[in-house]
Structure 1
Amino acid sequence: MGFFSEYINGANAYIKKINSEGGVFGRRIELLSYDDQYDPEKTVYYTQKLINDDKVFALLNYVGTPTGTKIVPIVEEAKIPLVGIGSGAQIFREPLKEYIYNLRPSYHQEADAFISGIVEELGIKKIAIFYQYDAYGFDGLKGAEISLERYGLKPTAIASYERGSLDVGGALATIKDSGAEAVFIVGVYGPTAEFIKQARAQNFNPIFGNLSFTGSEALAKELGADGNGVVVMQVVPPPTEKNLLIGVDDYINDLNASLPGHEATFSGLEGYADAEVFVEGLKRAGKELTRENFMNGLESIEKYDLGLASPVNFSATQHQGMQRVYATYLRDEKFVLFRDWKTAEFNVKKEEMQ
């Protein structure tokens, strides 16, 4: 299950529900989607197609940092609103992008949540960084370095891998030799799983922390038993929290109506939340729908409750709607939500580390 397909499945589930209820002011929403295969040049091509050929009203749910970066000037030139980017990169946040509305917290916030947890709660100071050598990886690396600097720390080691490669052995050797007690990973599930599995095989067992973009469910499947204790920071709660959070329950119910029997996922829930905020903007725009009214509607959203224990706030000067980061760790290929780093059942305790 890829991030993009699940992201769109979640958005579709919400939009289908809205359309079944008559749409917004009698207007049904049509969602067009193209697969750019995480190729920036294809992202540019399909964005121009959506704007110039398909004549869409707005854009929704783009995925990726290197891909999204390429279309920022296109969006700004066309003056077309884009709601929801499956990336926490700063380029979509600072300086403020007039036409881009992010829902998810930034990678810097995810990095800080992980590093503050292990430093303040567990007393860990030897932290290495393993990252993907591209715009996504550079952004996560920068966020981790900023967080470490707050505690007067520097990475014990920094190592990378090439996007699309599983060649992680050299990076692992560098990080293992540094004596790191924790490794912050800015990657995607394939190379990340390979890195962790090789580390386990060498009896190198620091706390592994990951960004949400890694691809949670795919990572869990790839790791199997080697995943126990691996931490993944999230921008939405686990889909298993349906009995505690009404937003998760709504997502699962609407997903089942849209795709019966389909597995609920983190990226699906994020896409669903993005679509709900998109529709809320349409409602607040009123019957006379224009892009300007739509953007004004989005910017009027304050303390909006998605049922995810993370209220949404936008304004003319704030285009990131959510601020909360959720900490999870793997246990038997399932994600466990936690708040207390001292009592979380990590697979390897600090005193057992090599």
Structure 2
Amino acid sequence: MPAFQLRLAAFSAAVAVLGATSSGALAQKKYDTGATDTEIKIGNIMPYSGPASAYGVIGSTEAAYFKKINAEGGINGRKINFVSYDDAYSPPKTVEQARKLVESDEVLFIFNPLGTPPNSAIQKYMNTKKVPQLFVATGATKWNDPKEFPWTMGWQPNYQSESRIYAKYILKEKPNAKIAVLYQNDDYGKDYLKGLKDGLGAKAASMIIVEESYETSEPSIDGHIVKLKSLNADVFFNVTTPKFAAQAIKKMAEIEWKPLHFLNNVSSSIGSVMKPAGFEASQNIISSNYLKDTSDPQWKNDAGMNAFDEFLTKYFPEGNRVDASVMYAYTVTQGLVHVLKACGDDLTRENVMKQAASIKGLELGGLLPGIKVNTSATDFAPISQLQLMKFKGEKWDLFGDIISGDVGG
């Protein structure tokens, strides 16, 4: 071959190599620990045992949803490896499980770990390690602090916003109310109490006649309910987790205490609270929601609800359809799938947080119409809207408008 042809061939080969490397650089795959060409390893911590075990179904639903995702080919061709551990709602155990997931299982991030005290116990650790603590399953207000804790993000409307919505309703409908509050003695309970006080403003001191706390280690809260009735309160704000919420509703019926009863959203599940407490005892309780209620016939022909039912039939037939925690888990997992799809081939922890903080107007099938997911680099509260609802017969009836959680104090 003549020299000039050899040079031309060599030049063409060099151009081809250059082209391949530059286009390769453009589409370069980036991974942190926990992600590869074939897999995304996700950690999770749930109270499968202990005082908040009613929430364990959230982890089981998420595992089933990832099974569906994997059966459909995964996310951008990668299968999900979901590693979920029990912490029995005990913060020291949560710390142990978080370390195990990050340091020995080497997950990319921890998704939807449950409970305010458990998440509070690992927040500094996760942020020091720069591992996302993503879409935590608790509405504490402190998860929306991107400046101090850029690796922690909430999901559901925060507790203070929810309480302010109840306060607004009380001020309008019962301005001379005598309010009794029962709350769990931890950050979760105190957050709700703060929101109520902020919402009532100057009237809080005269309207709230008792603030009664309980410990999760107590087997029963019956004694607290008897005490609150004796103080003649005509409004009761019930800030309890499912097991204790059902106990409170039952005991109130037994001793015939009938105040205007507000129940925090985290315990509004028909399957794990209202039904065990007794439908008759649960009448006229007021709560709020941002998710569709699976037992409400108005969603019978709704596309989002039909998709949810198909998922249950195929991947989670043992799931209790009327347990609100199942719909919650289904929806938050869809939110995560949206984030991971947006990450493309850049599966670094930094990009996971970047995409989670760039959600605009996301509508998910399980959310009430009009409620959308929105985040930004300065706003780590994905959902901040709610609608009030009242328990009638065997279901919740929505009433009023969709209210933004950013309610003025």
CA contact (8 A) 1:231 1:329 kept: yes
Deviates more, 1:115-124 or 1:285-294: 115-124
SS at match of 2:84: coil
The answer as to 2:380 corresponding to 1:327 is: no
Quote the Cα distance in structure 2 between the aligned partners of 1:83 and 1:246. Answer: 28
Identity %: 27
Partner of 2:353: 295
Aligned residue pairs: how many?
340
Counterpart-to-counterpart distance in 1, 2:169 and 2:303: 27
Normalising by structure 2, we get a TM-score of: 0.76
Matches within 5 A, 1:11-30: 11-30=62-81
Structure 1: unaligned runs, 5 residues or longer? 342-354
Is the alpha carbon distance of 1:175 and 1:148 closer, same or farther for their aligned partners in structure 2, counting shifts above 3 Å? farther
Distance 1:335 1:164, change over 3 A: farther
Match for 2:277 among 199, 209, 223? Answer: 223
Higher relative contact order (CA 8 A, sep 6+): 1
Partner Cα separation in structure 2 for residue 296 and residue 117 of structure 1: 37
Distance 1:38 1:105, change over 3 A: same
Could you tell me how far apart the structure 1 residues matched to 2:220 and 2:71 are? 48
Amino acid at match of 1:317: T
Matched, 1:338 2:405: no
Secondary structure in structure 2 of the residue aligned to 1:129:
strand
Post-superposition offset of 1:261: 5.0
> Hey, what's the Cα distance between the residues in 2 that align with 1:164 and 1:193?
16
Alpha carbons of structure 1 residues 28 and 291: separation in structure 2 relative to 1, 3 Å: same
Correspondent of 2:198 among 143, 146, 151: 146
CA distance in 2 between counterparts of 1:161 and 1:299 reads: 36
* 1-structure distance, mates of 2:96, 2:219: 29
Q: Which range is displaced more, 314-323 or 82-91?
A: 82-91
With the length of structure 1 as denominator, give the TM-score of the two structures. 0.87
Q: Distance in 2 between matches of 1:191 and 1:298?
A: 33
> How much does 1:187 deviate?
0.9
Deviation at 1:248, TM superposition (A): 3.4
Q: Which amino acid aligns with 2:213?
A: S
Is the Cα contact below 8 Å between 1:13 and 1:272 reproduced in 2?
no
Q: Secondary structure at the match of 2:391?
A: strand
Which residue does the alignment assign to 2:154? 102
TM-aligned CA distance change 1:300 to 1:30, over 3 Å: same
1:239 aligns with one of 285, 290, 294: 294
Structure 1 69/235 Cα, relative in aligned 2: closer, same or farther at 3 Å?
A: farther
Offset at residue 124 of structure 1 (A): 5.7
**Which residue type is aligned with residue 301 of structure 1?**
I
RMSD value, Cα? 2.4
Alignment of 1:22-41 (within 5 A): 22-41=73-92
Distance in 2 between residues matched to 1:95 and 1:149, nearest whole Å: 27
Alignment correspondent of 2:338: 280
Q: CA shift at 1:326, angstroms?
A: 3.4
- Correspondence list, 1:52-201, <5 A: 52-94=103-145, 96=147, 97-121=149-173, 123=175, 125-149=177-201, 154-201=207-254
> In structure 1, what is the Cα distance between the partners aligned to 2:347 and 2:137?
26
Superposition deviation, residue 3 in structure 1: 4.1
Give the drift of 1:285: 1.3
Q: Secondary structure at the match of 1:300?
A: coil
Q: Matches of 1:215 and 1:5 in 2, distance apart? A: 16
Q: Distance in 1 between matches of 2:202 and 2:303?
A: 36
Deviations 1:235-273 (A, max 9, x none): 423123543654333223212211225322211211122
Q: Which amino acid aligns with 2:108?
A: F
Q: Please tell me whether the aligned partners of residues 328 and 335 of structure 1 are also in contact (alpha carbons under 8 angstroms).
A: no
- Structure 1 SS opposite 2:395: strand
**In structure 1, what residue type is equivalent to 2:160?**
H
Contact 2:391 2:397 in 1 (8 A): no
Against the structure 1 CA distance between its residues 316 and 239, is the aligned structure 2 distance closer, same or farther, given a 3 Å change threshold?
same
